[in-house]
Amino acid sequence: MIDFRNVKKFYSNGTVALDGVDLHVDDGEFVFIVGHSGAGKSTMMKLLLREEAASSGTITVGDYELTNIKNKDIPYYRRNLGVVFQDFRLFPNKTVYENVAFAMQVVGTPRAMIKRRVPAILTTVNLAEKMKCFPRELSGGEQQRVALARALANNPKMIIADEPTGNIDPKMSIEIMNLLMKINKLGKTVIVVTHEKNLVDYYKQRVVMLKEGRIIEDRVGGMFQ
Amino acid sequence: MKRRYSTRFFLEQAFKGLTRNGVMSVASIAVLMSCLIVLGIFSLLLLNINVNLDKIAELNEIMVYCEYELTEDQIVEVEEKIKSLDNVGKVKRITKAEALQTMIDESGEYADLYSDITPENNPLCDSFEIIYEDMDGTSVYNLESQLWEIEGVRKINTVYKIAKTIDSLKSGVMLVFIWFLVILFIVSIFVIINTIKLAVYSRKSEITVMRYVGATNGFITLPFLFEGVIIGGAASALAFACQSYIYIYIEKMAANEMQMITVLPYTEVWPLLVLGFLAIGILTGVIGSVASLNKYLKY
């Protein structure tokens, strides 16, 4: 469950990135967060990842109150999230297998379990045969599937995807979105930040539209207008 | 879930990190090694200068030259009189034949110049090397006056003034050298830490991803810390090998060609080198890694 209550975020240069945002997302929902550049999408992501703290208001994600969270608890909070970025952010010097395994090593998963689970996850994203490849040897779509596999590695309750189709071709974009839909059907909350109108309109999920730091529309089965 | 990880895991991560970022690892080791060698050379130079200055400062010796025409009995009498004086420690007679031989030996390729000199026409005189006990300036002058009173003494050479001047200058010279060493040390530390900073910067995105997947600061820091130890250790070992080679070469050269210079034996300096290099190498490696990481670990 995600709960934003009157969340504001100001920067020291006077920019108002979020201006009194109220948003509630239940477990298992699929939500598109849309808006043009400067609407506040990235700031919302940063607050959700607790990369930055809100200037005022409260943000609750599951059992964690992000406005009061202690620094030492932030890594443990992040382990409940699976994050996918537009630029994939894979470890360039680790193989596909190691990239996914690393997320599990971080949380202390036993080696034997990692050996069993990583191939299974890579099979889910159709990359089992590229396990020993390095990211530079993969296409953009494949790299994003590795990122998705890494996001799923620790069986998180929520997947947050920041422009997941921004760096890949349209065919691969559909494939990635289908994977995200599949993950959502398994009961996980999925938040997708995007400005790709066609994808949003095609999947007809809940759409939260931001403009100048405010939510101007929040509709189930909505369109990107 | 909080969990302890094995040292083996972090060592594996550190080795993988070093090998997969080979260029930066080699650059860090090379810079650290170079700085250690420069520091090592300067420190050893400082130690050896100190020893040589000490040696000069401890020259408590007076040379007494006899009149040319003294008979053997008269020379023995002079020796007895010298020995009877207060504060005289050791007296060594150098006959004119010995003095000639020393002169020939020191002349090397020009020794032939003295081929015409025979024991009969030897122009040198007998002399005495006197080692006196530790005394202040006034007592040395008193001893010198007493020596002049002995019949048969032609000339007296004392290095007391030179020795004492060097002794008083020594602390100043050493202070200047120590400051140079301190400045060199500080500059080296900056160079090393900046090189490691660059190495860590090149892996900034890796650190960011580690944070996103929920790695704790300790989990992120430890492999870098181990990398720092490995870089420091490797650089220290290489610097030690180079430094030892250079030092042994200089020690041999000094023994053969520069006998007036005292060079501390390698067996005495190598433990200092090992300890110094390991301490500086590993400490700067670790401090450099951890300090560079800090800015990427803030929430």
Walk along chain B (299 residues) and give the pLDDT tens digit of each residue: 455 567 887 888 788 878 877 888 888 889 889 989 988 998 898 889 888 877 776 677 888 999 988 899 999 999 999 999 887 888 999 998 999 888 888 777 788 888 888 888 888 999 999 887 766 667 778 888 899 999 999 999 887 767 777 777 778 888 888 898 888 888 877 877 777 777 788 778 888 888 888 888 888 888 888 888 888 899 999 999 999 999 999 988 888 877 778 888 998 889 989 999 999 888 887 888 888 888 888 77
Helix H or strand E encompassing A182: helix A170-185
B242 SS3 class: helix
User: Residue A162's closest CA among A25, A64, A51, A7?
Assistant: A51
Contact: B214, A102; criterion CB under 8 Å: no
Contact: B299, A49; criterion CB under 8 Å: no
CB neighbour list of residue B266: distance below 8 Å, 6 or more residues apart: B244, B247, B248, B251
Residues of chain A with pLDDT under 50: none
- Quickly count: other Cβ atoms within 10 Å of residue B12's Cβ: 13
pLDDT of residue B58: 67
Given a contact cutoff of 8 angstroms between Cβ atoms, the answer to whether B231 and B285 are in contact is yes
Return d(Cα A41, Cα A20) in angstroms, integer: 14
The ranges assigned to domains in chain B are 7-56+164-296, 61-134
CATH T-level fold of B61-134: Alpha-Beta Plaits (3.30.70)
List C-alpha distances in Å: A155 to A79, A150, B214, B219: 9, 10, 13, 20
The neighbouring-strand residues paired with A30 are A190
ipTM: 0.84
List C-alpha distances in Å: A12 to A15, A16, A69, A211, A213: 7, 9, 22, 20, 16
In chain A, how long is the greatest CA-to-CA distance? 51
* Chain B interface test: which of A84, A93, A134 (most B C-beta within 10 Å): A93
What's chain B's Rg over C-alpha atoms? Answer: 31
Residues of chain B with a CB closer than 8 angstroms to some CB in chain A: 1-3, 5, 9, 16-17, 20-21, 205-206, 208-217, 219, 299
- Quickly count: other Cβ atoms within 10 Å of residue B155's Cβ: 12
Tokens of A148: 């998705």
Q: Is the pTM of this model over 0.80?
A: no
pLDDT of residue B260: 74
Return d(Cα B285, Cα A29) in angstroms, integer: 48
Contact: B213, A102; criterion CB under 8 Å: yes
Assess A58–B contact: CB distance below 8 Å, yes or no.
no
CB neighbour list of residue A73: distance below 8 Å, 6 or more residues apart: A64
**B88-94 vs B127-132, strand pairing mode:** antiparallel
Contact: A93, B206; criterion CB under 8 Å: yes
Nearest CA in chain B to A53: B299
Return d(Cα B194, Cα B289) in angstroms, integer: 10
A:85-104 residues touching chain B, CB 8 A cutoff: 89-94, 102-103
Tokens of A50: 């607790």
The beta-carbon neighbor of B21 closest among A74, A93, A102 is A93
Contact: A108, B211; criterion CB under 8 Å: no
Nearest CA in chain B to A111: B9
Q: Could you give the angle at the alpha carbon of B67 between the alpha carbons of B92 and B260, nearest 5°?
A: 45
